[in-house]
Chain A
Amino acid sequence: MIAELGHFALILALAVALVQMVVPMIGAHRDDEALMGVANKAALVQFVLIGFAFAVLVHAFVTSDFSLKLVADNSHSAKPLIYKISGVWANHEGSMVLWVLILALYGALVAFFGANLPSALRARVLAVQGSIGVAFIGFILITSNPFMRLMPAPFEGRGLNPLLQDPGLAFHPPFLYAGYVGLSMAFSFAIAALIEGRVDASWARWVRPWTLGAWVALTIGIAMGSWWAYYTLGWGGYWFWDPVENASLMPWIVATALLHSAIVAEKRGALKSWTILLAIFAFSLSLIGTFLVRSGVLNSVHAFASDPMRGVVILGIVTVFIGGALVLYGWRAPALKAEGMFAPMSREGALIVNNLLLSAAGVAVFIGTLYPLFLDALGGPKITVGAPFFNMTFVPIMLPLLILVPLGPLLGWKRADLVAALERLMGAGALAVLVSLCVFAFVSEGPWLAALGMGLATWLVVGAFTEFAARIALFSGPLTTSLRRARLLPRAQWGMAFAHGGLGILVAGLVGMTAWQSELVTALKEGESATVADYTLTLEKVGLRQGPNYEALVGVIRVKKDGKDLGFMMPEKRRFPVERQEKTEAAIRTNGMSDLYVVIGDDNGHGGYTIRAYVNPFAPWIWGGAIIMAFGGLISLTDRRYRVGAPTRARLRPQSQPAQ
């Protein structure tokens, strides 16, 4: 009965979304406040209805209601509670409900906090959001009903893919979706602006926090996914350029470009139509990602169901939204007048270079992911595009961008003095060279390019804080003055310093792990030892452990370094009887600078067990860097500028924002 109520709520939500799509748009066209006001109410009601449907689904999973086909197919009564909950979105139908729930949440947030938006703009934004809701709620109801009943209900469910029963992966989809769908807000604002034919500073000021929020969520989601791959797949890899990973990386790259171009649109009134185009592309890539992952075009752990009908419908939705948006863009964008003159050597110019390189990097990922599909569809040869391709295209395009990152923020708006900016980066440059030389002189292993890589990382981190230090007069005045200035500095400044610095940490992690990893692959019997880097590993004992819904083979390994006992590590190999699958659970011992990573494999038939151990220098920095970047984004989100009534201020002082 409850499930039927959930289903009914979803149908009602579709009806409400239809109203939200049509009525406010007409209202905005006729300048009718009453009709425009429908948008707010519809957005809130839609959120409540979808929230209810989602809660019903969670209830069904938590109570293991196997009369629902979805629960029976994806859950099991012996599963820990957290995986019963995450099971809701660890399947196609449930994840689509989560998708529209987040969409509706964002719509509700605009309705709730959007009082300072011009009412026509708000009505149009919510109408576009409504149209996305119509498409996806309709898609769920027609092709992927999560509330389908099973008759008769089975006694037990079929369980959840053990690979997905993991804390890292339990929350990976919600973050990714928050990012994907967050970009729908930028898209809706872009479409609304094209319909109005007007983009002003207040528009850009509204788009920025949404993009920033989506970017933070995407950053966390992608980092979680790669962290999961690192500790669960059992060979220390963390990024495989798998099409499904690329599907999340592409929107991230374009969102990064959009964040930067929106700054120019807000502060200088330039790059408006380009910013709108990026907003369209960012969400389009989210849709394409959804299509790639959900349609079964690609096979992987993410492609839950390969139902061709779903693929066709999603392709239809993707085509309509992207095609429609681009046609609208082609028709209306020429009407957007660019303002803000600037010289090529300026902050604007630097941000354009940023956008050019990020776009090219995004194209590299896009074409690398889709080209094999196109070639195959056109009857060409079957080819594979893997890591070596991306290392030769994506990486060389990103390198110059990384080198330029510290420079951009030091250039002034309109017309900048390059020499002065470079002079201020002398300290960062000197440190970078010093680090490179030290690595080159003292580390004998690994490719010599690693020394340059570490120099680049230093350049990024120190460079990120150069401007920061100058603005708070860190070394040129008393400490108390500096602290006071630091407190008064706009949060966006703090955010940028952290985001750029985090990028440097991330680069150090990538370089260090790639260049200096040590490995050990061997078979050990109980009592035998082996060494990897400075560590001595002794397999003391192998035993079995009973988990809630699995049985684990546990290796008890004593770790010693330079004769000092560091305690035990216990890697596991888990067998899930219900799902009939196995999963390695690596034991990772980290000291913040490097990881000791140990995996136990099967019995080799002669009383020994396969033991793989890696020392991964700087590996924790990869995820640490990503988290710092996301943290920077969060700080920036709390900037005062986003909370004050932007349109009011713009009205009082038109275009007189001091260049920052």
Chain B
Amino acid sequence: MIMRRVVLTLSLFMALVSPALAVNPGEALSDPALEARARTISKELRCLVCQNQSIDDSDADLAGDLRKLVRDRLVAGDSDEQVLDYIVARYGDFVLLRPPFDVTTALLWLTPFGVVVFGGVGLWLAFRRRSVTRAPQALDSEEKSKLAALLNETTPRD
């Protein structure tokens, strides 16, 4: 529960999508606390007939129906969790803009952070190996003469 609230707050803070607003006049609940919960839940639900828009962002009739359904459930006393479950039970996971973490989506959720972790570890190991094997050393005499020859070379290659 606490985790969920943290996540919701974080996503509200980070949301690149503004808290948007296709709610129509008369739809909003009179209780501001309940209405705020309805808005937060609405941002997690996809308008099924639109392109990646939440029901909170959409003018479509179906989105309006879902917004009303969310509010009806909240008024009936459901928790946020119960409202989402109620809607998922009817429309499937497809309705969630944040796919649930399970076997089929593990790769989706873990890959971005996997890149950071494995990339970071890989880089670190590469660094350590390199600094062990390739510590800079002074040139030996053969290399020095080669270098001198190269520096004296006047004609460029291209």
Q: Which A residues have a C-beta under 8 Å from some C-beta of B?
A: 118-120, 234-243, 298-300, 341, 344, 352, 356-357, 359-361, 363-364, 367-368, 371, 375, 380-397, 447, 449-450, 453, 510-511, 513-515, 517, 519, 521-523, 604, 610, 612, 614, 616, 647, 651
Contact = CB atoms under 8 A, between A and B. Distances in A.
Interface-centre pick from B12, B21, B104 (highest chain A CB count, 10 A): B21
B12 A447 contact: yes
Given A235-B57, A241-B16, A360-B116, A119 B158 contact: yes
B112 A352 contact: no
Given A386-B98, A388-B43, A388-B97, A237 B18 contact: yes
B77 interface: no
Contact of A384 (B57, B94, B104, B111): B94
Given A243-B52, A387-B15, A387-B97, 18 more contacts: A235-B57, A237-B17, A240-B53, A344-B127, A356-B120, A360-B116, A361-B112, A382-B93, A388-B97, A389-B97, A389-B98, A390-B16, A392-B11, A393-B113, A449-B10, A515-B13, A604-B25, A612-B21
B13 A240 contact: no
Enumerate the 7 nearest inter-chain pairs by beta-carbon distance, A residue then B residue, closest first.
A386-B97, A364-B112, A388-B98, A118-B158, A449-B13, A360-B115, A395-B14
A655 B116 CA distance: 33
A447 B13 contact: yes
A59 to B, nearest CB: 34
Contact of A371 (B16, B51, B96, B108): B108
Interface in B125-144: 127, 134, 136
Contacts of A298: 51
Contact of B10 (A240, A367, A391): A391
A241 B10 CA distance: 17
B20 to A, nearest CB: 4
5 contacts: A241-B17, A356-B115, A356-B120, A388-B43, A519-B21
Interface string B103-122: 01101110111011001100
A523 B25 contact: yes
B16 A383 contact: no
Contacts of B22: 235
Contacts of B9: 447, 449
Contacts of B51: 240, 242-243, 298-300
B99 A389 contact: yes
B87 interface: no
A649 B134 CA distance: 30
A361 B113 CA distance: 9
B20 A236 contact: yes
A523 B26 CA distance: 9
A341 B18 contact: no
B156 interface: yes
Contacts of A360: 112-113, 115-116, 119
Given A360-B119, A647-B158, A385 B10 contact: no
Contacts of B107: 367, 371
A235 B92 CA distance: 27
B105 to A, nearest CB: 7
Given A237-B18, A341-B136, A522-B25, A386 B13 contact: no
B93 A381 contact: yes
A391 B16 contact: yes
A450 B15 CA distance: 11
Interface in B51-93: 51-54, 57, 59, 92-93
B16 to A, nearest CB: 5
A368 B120 CA distance: 22
A365 to B, nearest CB: 9
B158 A237 contact: no
A651 B44 CA distance: 60
A614 B21 contact: yes
B19 to A, nearest CB: 6
Contact of B24 (A453, A514, A517, A610): A610
A146 B18 CA distance: 39
Contact of A521 (B7, B11, B28, B109): B28
A240 B113 contact: no
A396 B11 CA distance: 10
Contacts of B104: 375, 380-381, 383
B95 interface: yes
A385 B99 contact: yes
Contacts of B96: 383-384
Interface-centre pick from A299, A371, A614, A647 (highest chain B CB count, 10 A): A371
Contacts of B25: 521-523, 604, 610
B93 A383 contact: yes
Contacts of B18: 236-238, 513-514, 517, 616
Contacts of B115: 356, 359-360, 363
B59 to A, nearest CB: 8
B123 interface: yes
Contacts of A616: 18
Contact of B134 (A235, A239, A341, A395): A341
A392 B7 contact: yes
Given A367-B108, A382-B92, A391 B11 contact: yes
Interface-centre pick from B14, B23, B98 (highest chain A CB count, 10 A): B14
A387 B16 contact: yes
A368 B108 contact: yes
A363 B112 contact: yes
A380 B93 CA distance: 12
A394 B98 CA distance: 13
B97 A384 contact: yes
Contacts of A610: 24-25
B93 A393 contact: no
Contacts of A243: 51-52
Nearest to A202: B158
A523 B23 CA distance: 12
Given A385-B108, A651-B156, A240 B21 contact: no
Contacts of B24: 521, 610
Contacts of B134: 341
B112 A514 contact: no
A616 B97 CA distance: 24
A386 B156 contact: no
A387 B43 contact: yes
A360 B123 CA distance: 14
Contacts of A299: 51
Contacts of A234: 59
A511 B136 CA distance: 47
A344 B57 CA distance: 46
Nearest to A450: B13
B75 to A, nearest CB: 19
Interface-centre pick from A361, A371, A391 (highest chain B CB count, 10 A): A391
B111 A514 contact: no
Nearest to B16: A239
A236 B107 CA distance: 33
Contacts of A363: 111-112, 115
B158 A120 contact: yes
B111 A383 contact: no
Interface-centre pick from A352, A363, A382, A515 (highest chain B CB count, 10 A): A363
Nearest to B97: A386
Nearest to A226: B16
Contact of A356 (B92, B99, B113, B119): B119
